[in-house]
Amino acid sequence: MPRRTPPVGELVERARDGESRAVARLISLVEDESPLLRDVMAALAPYAGNAHIVGITGSPGVGKSTSTSALVSAYRETGKRVGVLAVDPSSPFSGGALLGDRVRMQDHATDRGVFIRSMASRGHLGGLAWSTPQALRVLDAAGFDVVLVETVGVGQSEVEIAGMADTTLILLAPGMGDGIQAAKAGILEVGDIYVVNKADRDGVQSVTRDLRAMLALAERAEGAWSPPILKTVASRNEGVAEVVQAIEDRLAWMAGNGVLTERRRGRARDEIEAIATTALRARFAHLHGDARLDVLAAKVADGDTDPYSAADELIAAL
Domain extent at residue 297: 271-317
Residue-wise pLDDT for 120-167, tens only, equals 654 444 444 567 888 999 999 999 999 999 886 645 445 677 788 999
Given a cut of 70, whether residue 177 has pLDDT beyond it is no
Q: What is the pLDDT of residue 3?
A: 59
Q: What is the pLDDT of residue 125?
A: 44
CA 148 remoteness from chain centre: 8
Q: What is the CATH number of the domain that holds 128?
A: 3.40.50.300
**Same domain for 302 and 164:** no
In a domain, 261, yes or no: no
- How many folded domains does the chain comprise? 2
Q: Counting every residue, how long is the chain? A: 318
Q: What is the pLDDT of residue 280?
A: 81
In a domain, 23, yes or no: no
User: Average of pLDDT values for 78-90?
Assistant: 84
Q: Residue 78 in 3-state DSSP? A: coil
E strands, 132-275, in order = 146-150, 167-172, 193-196, 229-231
Residue-wise pLDDT for 238-265, tens only, equals 999 999 999 999 999 999 999 999 999 9
**Same domain for 278 and 176:** no
In a domain, 149, yes or no: yes
**Same domain for 251 and 276:** no
In a domain, 56, yes or no: yes
Given a cut of 60, whether residue 104 has pLDDT beyond it is no
Q: What is the pLDDT of residue 98?
A: 43
A 10 A CB-CB count for 263 gives 18
- Measured in degrees and rounded to the nearest 5, phi and psi for residue 277 equal -65, -40
